[in-house]
Amino acid sequence: MAAAPGPALAGVGATREVLALPGLSEDLLAPWEARRLAAIRLPARRDDVLASRLLLRLCVSRLTGRPPGDTELAQRCPDCGKLGHGRPYLPGHPGLGVSLSHADGVVAAAAGPGPTGVDVEPAVRRPASARTLRRLLTEAELRAAGPGDAGRLRAWVRFEALLKAGGQAPGVRVWSDARTGAVAAVATGAPAVVFSLRPPRAPRGPEEPRTSGDPPPHSP
Ligand SMILES: [Zn+2]
């Protein structure tokens, strides 16, 4: 199947929100993903990994119009060439790049035409040291980041997203998701539409299934 043309899509959400979404459950994972998940000892980390993989399926579903369960996800390591770890890709959509990220209760995922990378960090996280950033970033990137923690964290997620895209993506967008308290970046070859999951409703009687779970995506 050909890649869907048009914008890239990137989503951010709290892990618990993603895991509470109807239609997204652990049984969407491939057997190899389930085995990897089962090997994670720390429950919070396991939840983050699961949520990032489910959010990725949601992104792909919204781009392709296919149900989330139709997404076959694979990973191949660019270093050793083995499957099951390394850069994620969709065997059924060779033109569509995908990426996922998770960090301490927040997750992000992205899908778009061509190389795609996404990264997320809690906004309260201490950024990489100035020394590390000096090693990794260009002069212009360092100047843009500025000396403050917030700028350095944004520069870091930007760097990570670009790295995951193989350094090839022409466009990088960094944004703060105030509601989930996350800073995220997506690197893609197409203008990125970003979305945030809607907060879970306060319980009132029987739970209503939600089909969408987020506000309309907004453009830059
Ligand atoms: Zn490897």
- Average confidence (pLDDT) per 10 residues, the chain, 220 residues: 67 95 93 94 97 96 92 91 90 94 96 94 89 89 87 93 86 91 93 79 48 43
Q: Where would I find the beta strands (DSSP E) of the chain?
A: 8-14, 74-76, 87-89, 96-103, 106-113, 117-122, 171-177, 182-188, 192-196
Residue 164 Cα, ligand 1 centroid: separation in angstroms?
14
Output the pTM of the full model: 0.85
Domain 8-196, CATH among 3.30.1360.150, 3.10.20.30, 3.90.470.20, 3.20.180.10: 3.90.470.20
Q: Which helix (H) or strand (E) holds 55?
A: helix 43-64
pLDDT of residue 197: 81
What is the CA(186)–ligand 1 centre distance, in A? 23
In the chain, where are the structural domains located? Answer: 8-196
pLDDT digits (tens, 9 = 90+) for 186-195: 999 888 899 8
Nearest to 17 by CA among 207, 197, 203: 197
Whole-number Å distance, alpha carbon 36 to ligand 1 midpoint, is 15
Q: What's residue 62's pLDDT?
A: 92
